Amino acid sequence: MRAAMPRIRFKGAAVAAVTVAMAVALTACGGDEGSDKPEGEQKQPRSSASEKPNSPDTEESVDPSVVLASVKGPGDIDLVVNSAQRDSGGFVTVKGSVTNGSKQRFAAQGWQGNEQEMVGNGASVAGASLVDQTGKKRYLTLRDTDGRCLCTKFTTGIGPGETIPFFVQFPAPPAGVTDVDFQLPTMPTATIKISG
């Protein structure tokens, strides 16, 4: 009997420790439902459409002959938006391409925006936003729970004469909203139409 008592106590302590650990883990995983941050600024979990933010899967299936908008920025940088697709998960994915028409490597300086959390994304389109002029709302680039944008990162920049595809995800505006402004720091505003 005496030999069995320490084992029972040990098991009880282990169960208690596991229970406390699970309670802490569940509390830490709580959502931002009570947050009063403006729409688009809350951290978002990764959506199924963007499990791998920089994967070819996310950047494929863009028809380059469909051009929703085309803008030219400083330094001979051309940005083309080919699609803005609303999906059933409540997101809008914007896809297109960036062409570096200069003779120097383009590092997308400033494109990550000036939000403290997004600056850590480096050369990327993390600073992009969608603006619903009618509803007077701005939708910021989604990010995962670690602050990584759900968007393309240009890890080595864009070489001279090179064209690179990009994608970026946003919270979806209300279903009736189709025309929005796509904004990216240093580039002119592009008005695009959301489909889906």
Pick from 7, 187, 176, 181: nearest CA to 84: 181
Q: Higher model confidence: residue 88 or residue 3?
A: 88
* Per-residue DSSP letter, 37: P
The model's pLDDT over 132-171, given as tens digits with 9 standing for 90+, comes to 999 999 999 999 988 899 999 998 999 999 999 999 999 9
- Looking at the domain 48-193, which fold is it? Immunoglobulin-like (2.60.40)
The model's pLDDT over 91-120, given as tens digits with 9 standing for 90+, comes to 999 999 999 999 999 999 889 887 777 777
**Measured between alpha carbons, how far is residue 68 from residues 9, 101, 121 in Å?**
68, 20, 26
Output the pLDDT for position 115.
Answer: 78
Q: Rounded to whole angstroms, how far apart are CA atoms 78 and 153? A: 17
Domain ranges of the chain: 1-30, 48-193
The model's pLDDT over 120-136, given as tens digits with 9 standing for 90+, comes to 788 899 999 999 999 99
The token duo for 67 is 């051009």
Q: Rounded to whole angstroms, how far apart are CA atoms 19 and 78? A: 55
What contacts 160, CB < 8 A, 6 or more positions away?
100, 102, 103, 104, 105
Output the pLDDT for position 60.
Answer: 53
